[in-house]
Chains A and B, each alone.
Chain A
Amino acid sequence: MVEAGPVPQIRAALERLAARAALLAGLRAGAGAVGGVSVGLLLASGIASAGGPPLLAAGVGITALLVGGGVGLIAPLVPAWRGRGDLLVHARLVEALRPELEQRLLTVAGRLIQPRGAAGPGSDLLLQRAARRAEGVLRDLPPARVYPLDSLRVPALIAAGALLLTLLAALFAPVGPVEALAMAVAPGGASVEAAAPVDPNVRAVVGDIELRYVFPAHTGNPPVTVKNSDGTIHAPVGTVVEVRARTLERYDHADLELDGQLLGPANLVAGRELLATLTVERDGTWRFALTRGEARVLSPDYKVEIDEDAAPVVALERPPGPTPAADAPLGVAFSVQDDFGVTKLAVEIEDEQGNLREVPLRELLDQPREVQGVLSLSPRQLGLPIGQRSKLRIVAYDNDVGGGNKKGASATLEVTPLGPRGQGERLEAYLRKLRDALVDVLAAHLLDPSPPAAEASAAMRWAEGAQGRLDEVARLRAAQWGDDGAGTLDGPLLDEVFADAGRLFRFVLTTWEPGSGRSITAADTAQVSALQVDLVLALEQAIYVIDASLRAVALQQLSEAADNVAAEARELAAVADKAEIGELLARLDQLTRMLDALNKAAAALSDADLKEFVNSRTGEASQLMDQIRAALEEGRVEDARELMKQLAEQLQQMSESLGDRMASQQQDADELKEALKKTLEGMEKLEADQRALAEQLRKEREALGDEVGEEVAAWAKIDKALRELLRQAEAFEAAVGDGRGYRIDVLRRAERAVGEARAVEAPVRGRDPVGALDRTLGATPLMEAARRLIGAEAARPRGPSEPTPAAQPAAQAAAAGAVAQLRELRALLEPMAEGGESESPEVQSAARKLSAQQSELAERREQLEGELRRVERALPTAQGKATAEMERAGESMERAQDALSQGEAMKAEGNQDAAADQVKAAREALQQALQQQQQQQQAQREMRGQQQPQGDPTGKDEGDPSVGPDHLLIPPPEAFRTPEAYRRALLEGMSGDVPEEYEALKQRYFEELVRQ
């Protein structure tokens, strides 16, 4: 063929199109390869990040990389390769785009591809004409129209997307694509030692270690990055750890080794930045092996420590005593903690033969990591044999599906449930020991000088020694009740003793601190004396109440034993005429044993006279029985029968005497109860009348146009803030306890802060805004400082023998609360202190008119105080607190009376309110004493073995009326289907009326409930 005319241009144009097609194919191949490789990397990263085996991740990754990359690369090139040099391919495309060519270009292209010399169909002329025509069209047709760049869009987008995902994976995936592949490259196979000589004594300096933990999915933990790590890896099995570090020197290559085995190459950026990934599988060590030139050096060894998915940790927070009552809830408070969640709680019981069984408690659907609860089942409900020792453990199961649900168990509780009688005997023995221990403590405190010492060093020695006096009491208490002495007879009594002891020791330690440079003032001496008196009073009260219970029980037991003996003697006398001698002798033996029991009961009496009374009568009866035996043996049967009647009569008289005494005591108790009721009613009415009079005064002021509303409201707020302040101050003091674990200066500040806070009360009660503000301003910085110092005590380094204050957080919280209340008071008092307007003459006159009514109330109060004093004296559990409050009420009433007579309405109101509050406080104190008396009677019943089964925890059965009020446990939530049902049941339970003596308890119960 002759290539002349337009044909060469056509060839050239078609060749250009071919070149463009090849270029585009190449670009598509590139994009495909990138996409394929990216997919492979992503797969590897994904598998590794999901915790898959490294080899699998690497294998899948490489396979995907090769396959994807290959396919992506080759697929676009194959058609291009096939069509290389074939101009017809391109001509067809042009023809398709420009149909007006009508095959002319194909004709020309066909000729062009024919071998030279071969004749084509048609003439050259026609060919030339077609060529011209085709060349014209080709000239106007840009190559981009034939092979547009749009064909690259999809592969490019795919490649870009894949690349972007890969980059994102590198940045954010737990295991990056490169690390994932690195695992495949060096999964930890051959020893590196052989690869190059390493001097083990020389270690590369590596720092800035950062560990990024990606935990297994079942843990539910988010990834955690630990910067500036020491290199030690703590993690559960399956955790992927990305290690980043920096070397001091530059290296050419880095490998990661685990337990001396090559794990794979580490990324080394800029010769110093190291990046590697490993998956935690077992305990061991890891390190980098760094190569520079021929030299190979190791980084230090770092530990890999497996954090086992440990079994739940079960802690007992309030273990019971060793001999709980068979039918009372065990009340064991416990807490459970687990790394990743708890699924089930149970009680594991081991009997004396070592047999184990479990009693399920709760299934926890939400699998919390922390659980707190109280074991409220009784030993009987748990199936524990009475009188036999059993071992109990609270057990919890975790949610570890891989390793099986691991079980955590609490410390073992060894319990020997006792029936009512055994429990009673044990309680009696405990109370006896406790009383005796308290007597020893009392003796020591009674003989202490006051103040305990003049010299600082001597005072400190005294305090250190005296602090141990109550140790035996604490030990006995713990042995009896565990950590739960609430609701017992001795519980509140001992709490009072320990609190008073704490106050005393704290004060001495802070006031007489050696080297403080502080001089002891008369006020200090008076204060320590007062604290000593308080402690002695608390000890006396505890001893007396416990002893009174023991005495009452001894008398009751004696009376019962006497009744039994008398009944037996009567029966003996009744059968004497008919029974055989053998039977009579046997019954005499039985009577002798009963008399022994009676003597034993008499031995427990503290009353020497009564003991003598019983001993002489039983001695006489014993002797008479000897005479009866002698008469029977000598055949004087008639004599014996007569003597038996005499014996029956004697014993009956003794029984009746004791019965009379019991009846007399009961009569006294009934009379006291009646007097108490009357006194309580009187106090309630007095309080109501006092409040009514205060209200009347307010209304009078309102009616006279006095600006009473705001002021009254402000004082109401101030009163409320004051109450809360006093409550917080008390809580603060209680939490600080006896001061063990705190520095002396901290205690001193705390003492002073509490004292200053309390001093706010008096001016507030007296409606003296200026004085109250002064006190508030004085107390605030002191309390603030106390809060700060108490807080600092938590982190202070301590010696091994120095205890950490147990309730430090509570103390800090209470101090913070007190500070808040002081600020509140300040805000409320400031505007009032600035006011100070005097009352109008009309208001003054109205106030004076109410003076007579106030006077009448004062008279009633005085009368009530006398009755109250008598009642408190007769009530063993009372300590005169109610009378003291009543006296304070008297002072307030007197001030109110004075204020009214001088026309000072506002001041009168404040004192009237204060008086009403104090009457109320007196009533509550009396109710509390009554309640304690109930506990005393309950303890007496328990000591006599009259304890009865505890009711159904849901409260649906009748329960046990003999169980004391504080034994009423809030039922566990699991006893109810829904939380709402639980709440409703509690509220319903509390809605009923309760006897007066339980009012205070009911209130506390509600408060406790609200806290829950």
Chain B
Amino acid sequence: MSRRSPPLFLGLGVLLALLVGAPARAGLRELEDCLDRFHLECAVQERKGLGGAEGQRADLWIAFHRGDYGAVARLVEAGAAGSGPDEGEAPYRATVESARGMVEQGGTGVSVRYAPGLDAILAEEAVETLVASRAAYDALFGGGPAHDIVLDIFPTATRFIGASGLPPESVRTTGVIALSKWTRLLLTSPRALSRGYAWKDTVAHEYIHLVVAYRTGNRAPVWLQEGLAKHLEGRWRGDRAGRLGAHTESLLAKAVQTGEFVPFEKFARSMAYLDSGEEAALAFGQVATMVQLLIERAGPDALPVLMDRVAGGDDPMQVFAELAGQPSFEAFRLSWVEWLRTQPLVAQQLATLPVVLDGGGDETASDPLLAGRPDLQRFYRLGDLLREAGHPRAALVEYAKAVDPSTPTSPLLLARQADCYEALREPGRALQLVDEGLGMYPEHALLQKTRGRLLMAQGDPAALGAFRAAHDLNPYDIDVQRALTTLYGRAGKAEAAARHLRYARLLETGGAVAGARAPSPR
């Protein structure tokens, strides 16, 4: 007997523990399920029935999803994170570290956090963007989360990577700069990219992901998520066309011509397994235009229905097809191809603008043509040297050598050539080049700025729009802020002029806010 007693007691102990802990674990699972479905309020409700270690762990999860990093830090210190593999996936400590010193600016139902200093220039407009996005997309999709939406703008890619939980190599190679995750939005500051990016649309894009995940209980597949986000990302600012970038359009045009689309099956479950950046871009273009077609045919009211049916467990592809008036997704796909042929796509061969983070490359590294072409960079650099030495005409000769007719046109080269023509007092020619460049690369801040400068010199009121576009891409250019101050002033828009004057001063002083104190980590 004595020999049997220990296993008996051990077995009873385990059974007792399971019986006592079972309700708590079930509550925690439900809470986790709520968070998975992006329902923070639901998770808060589930928290109420939990106590002890589970309660503490639930607090940690909720705090992490809310973006309350002060609480996260405290709970992690208290041992709430646990040590299991599931807990290890959430980058609690890294997020706390990445968010250290960030300050907050709130708005209606939104909270924007950013690093003090130059990124203060983003805060005001980030709040505006997020508020507008909430209004636009909640209405569009038939509702949205009730909790405050937290947007963290990380000053560097390194800090973004830390808070994202993604492998650094993956972020740097894929160029991911924003995420919708843990019911929050994570954004890399446009300052971390050499020439900025369309960060406001990106905020809206990520918010769409959040709303769609919330509305569908996180059941929307990636293709649907990306299609909706891509097509609708400009709608917060009233852009209903939802046009794709010139590069994506050119890929689509080529696919329409050759019939070589990315098979839907290849990315239906995940976009991560596509072979190349070009293929991924084409896939995004395909789904975005499918959404466009759906909205064209069924109207925007179809979107809440789509959300509800997907949330209810219907097959997203079938629902999508039915809402578009097709019996099957294949039928929808064929009609989409036909529709695509009628669209005015940019047929010119273009390339995507590479993403270079944290000063990780020189200016040519972020150029679609010159990046990876040291032989052409040589002529580009020679052109720069000649231009800077006051030989614009000779510089044009070198810039011309940097053009490879078999590859897309370089926006950087176009900007430099425009500079030369401007120096040669041929602004018409310069403007022509800039317009040509912007037709292909509207997100090229330098081209926008050059256009603004050229137009402003001619007294053209369109200069305001160009500078405004440059500002939306890269607000850290002091010349752009000064120009906007002047132009808004001339236009009698005192408030806007004052805002950009404030930005200009912020840039002049290196981002100082007199007497400000960086708050402790949240």
Contacts and interface: CB of A to CB of B under 8 A. Distances in A.
Interface stretch (A423-431, A451-459, A612-620, A797-805): A612-620
A199 to B, nearest CB: 79
Interface in B465-517: 476, 509-512, 514-517
B397 interface: yes
Given A435-B385, A610-B362, A639-B517, A447 B510 contact: no
B362 A642 contact: no
Interface stretch (A51-59, A623-631, A856-864): A623-631
B101 interface: yes
Interface string A639-665: 100110110011001001110110010
B510 A622 contact: yes
B358 A660 contact: yes
A240 B516 CA distance: 103
Interface in B129-179: 155-156, 158-159
Contact of A544 (B382, B476, B510, B516): B382
Given A639-B517, A646-B518, A620 B374 contact: no
B118 interface: yes
Given A435-B385, A443-B391, A664-B360, A653 B515 contact: no
A630 B516 CA distance: 10
Please indicate which of the listed interface residues A442, A620, A661 has the most CB atoms of chain B within 10 Å of its own CB: A620
A608 interface: yes
A624 B518 CA distance: 10
A630 B361 CA distance: 36
A621 B118 CA distance: 10
B359 interface: yes
Contact of B394 (A436, A446, A607): A446
Nearest to B193: A609
A540 interface: yes
B361 A661 contact: yes
Interface residues of A, number: 51
Contacts of B118: 616, 619-620
A540 B382 contact: yes
A661 B362 CA distance: 9
A623 B382 contact: no
Given A435-B385, A873-B374, A619 B360 contact: no
Please indicate which of the listed interface residues A547, A609, A613, A657 has the most CB atoms of chain B within 10 Å of its own CB: A609
A643 B359 CA distance: 24
Nearest to A872: B375
A661 B101 CA distance: 26
A439 interface: yes
| Chain A interface, >50% SS class | helix
Nearest to A435: B385
B47 interface: no
Contacts of A440: 389, 391
Nearest to B357: A657
Nearest to B364: A607
A443 B512 contact: no
Interface string B331-368: 00000000000000000000000000011111100100
Contacts of B100: 646, 649
Contacts of B429: none
B191 interface: yes
A1009 B80 CA distance: 78
A544 B378 contact: yes
B426 to A, nearest CB: 16
A446 B363 contact: no
Contact of B384 (A606, A618, A639): A606
Contacts of B159: 653
Nearest to B512: A623
A959 interface: no
A447 B476 contact: no
Contacts of B512: 623-624, 626-627
A48 interface: no
A874 interface: yes
A534 to B, nearest CB: 15
B359 A658 contact: yes
A619 B517 contact: no
B382 A436 contact: no
B194 interface: yes
B305 interface: no
A627 B117 CA distance: 11
B167 to A, nearest CB: 15
Contacts of A620: 117-118, 510-511
B156 A439 contact: no
A630 to B, nearest CB: 7
B158 A653 contact: yes
A485 interface: no
Contacts of B386: 439, 442-443, 446
B398 interface: yes
B362 A442 contact: no
Given A619-B510, A657-B156, A661-B360, A876 B515 contact: no
A643 B512 CA distance: 13
B358 A642 contact: no
Contact of A643 (B382, B389, B511, B517): B517
A43 interface: no
Contacts of B378: 540, 544, 876
A16 interface: no
A608 B363 contact: yes
B381 interface: yes
Given A608-B363, A660-B360, A631 B374 contact: no
Nearest to A545: B378
Nearest to B195: A609
Contacts of B520: 642
A929 to B, nearest CB: 13
Contacts of A614: 359
Nearest to A606: B384
A583 B439 CA distance: 57
Contacts of A643: 517-518
A624 B509 CA distance: 10
B374 A443 contact: no
B254 interface: no
Contacts of B379: 540
Given A439-B385, A547-B381, A649-B101, A664 B361 contact: yes
Please indicate which of the listed interface residues A440, A446, A447 has the most CB atoms of chain B within 10 Å of its own CB: A446
A249 to B, nearest CB: 81
Contacts of B158: 653, 656-657
Contacts of A442: 382, 386, 394
A661 B172 CA distance: 12
Contact of A447 (B389, B397, B509): B397
A447 B393 contact: yes
Contacts of A626: 512
A636 interface: yes
A543 interface: yes
Given A609-B194, A620-B510, A658-B359, A436 B389 contact: yes
A287 to B, nearest CB: 72
Contacts of A439: 385-386, 389, 391
A664 B101 CA distance: 29
A622 B191 CA distance: 17
A446 B398 contact: yes
Nearest to B511: A620
Contacts of B476: 612, 616
Contact of A443 (B358, B394, B518): B394
Given A544-B378, A619-B118, A624-B117, 6 more contacts: A446-B386, A543-B382, A543-B385, A627-B512, A646-B101, A646-B116
15 contacts: A439-B391, A444-B394, A446-B394, A540-B382, A543-B385, A614-B359, A616-B191, A627-B516, A631-B517, A642-B518, A643-B518, A646-B101, A653-B156, A657-B358, A664-B361
Interface of B: 100-101, 116-118, 155-156, 158-159, 191, 194-195, 358-363, 366, 373-375, 378-379, 381-382, 384-386, 389, 391, 393-394, 397-398, 476, 509-512, 514-518, 520
User: Which 4 A-B pairs give the minimum distances between C-beta atoms?
Assistant: A619-B510, A623-B512, A443-B391, A613-B359
